[in-house]
């Protein structure tokens, strides 16, 4: 009799679990599959790092400048600020930027000299 009761309890719990699974429309299985996929991705990244293999683009999330993970920002000195102001004043004197409105109503900047719209880092055409 005790065996029959134990079997009845097991059958009832299994049917309850399958009913619960049917009620949540399988989202628990989706969540478990997503957790397994995330765990597999983390394991693959750890294995690649441990073996020294190159990481996939989706695994590269660290930002490095000059092979360092941190970038030290130093405040600008008074001399650097003064040199920048002098360079800006010289640029304004040479280029003389003016804002004009074209026939479509867009505001555009015109310069007195050629290549004034290029930055000091983008010198294409010079």
pLDDT digits (tens, 9 = 90+) for 94-110: 889 899 999 999 999 88
* Residue 45 to residue 56: CA distance in whole angstroms: 8
Q: What is the reported pTM? A: 0.38
CA 102, CA 100: separation in Å to the nearest integer?
6
Dist. CA 21–CA 15, nearest whole Å: 10
Q: Which of the given ranges, 28-42, 51-65, 66-80, 96-110, has the highest pLDDT on average?
A: 96-110
CA distance 119 to 94: 14
- In this prediction, residues 50-61 reach a mean pLDDT of 76
Question: What is the end-to-end Cα distance of the chain in Å, rounded?
Answer: 97
């Amino acid at each position: 009799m005790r065996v029959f009761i134990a079997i009845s309890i097991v059958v009832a719990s299994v049917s309850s679990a399958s009913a619960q699974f049917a009620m949540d429309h399988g989202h628990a299985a989706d969540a478990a599959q997503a957790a397994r996929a995330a765990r597999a991705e983390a394991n693959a990244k750890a294995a690649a790092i441990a073996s020294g293999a190159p990481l996939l683009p989706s695994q590269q999330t660290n930002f490095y400048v000059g092979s360092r993970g941190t970038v030290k920002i130093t405040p600008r000195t008074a001399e650097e600020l003064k040199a920048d102001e002098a360079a800006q004043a010289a640029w304004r004197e040479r280029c003389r930027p003016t804002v004009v409105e074209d026939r479509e109503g867009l505001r555009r900047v015109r310069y007195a000299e050629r290549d004034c719209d290029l930055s000091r880092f983008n010198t294409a055409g010079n």
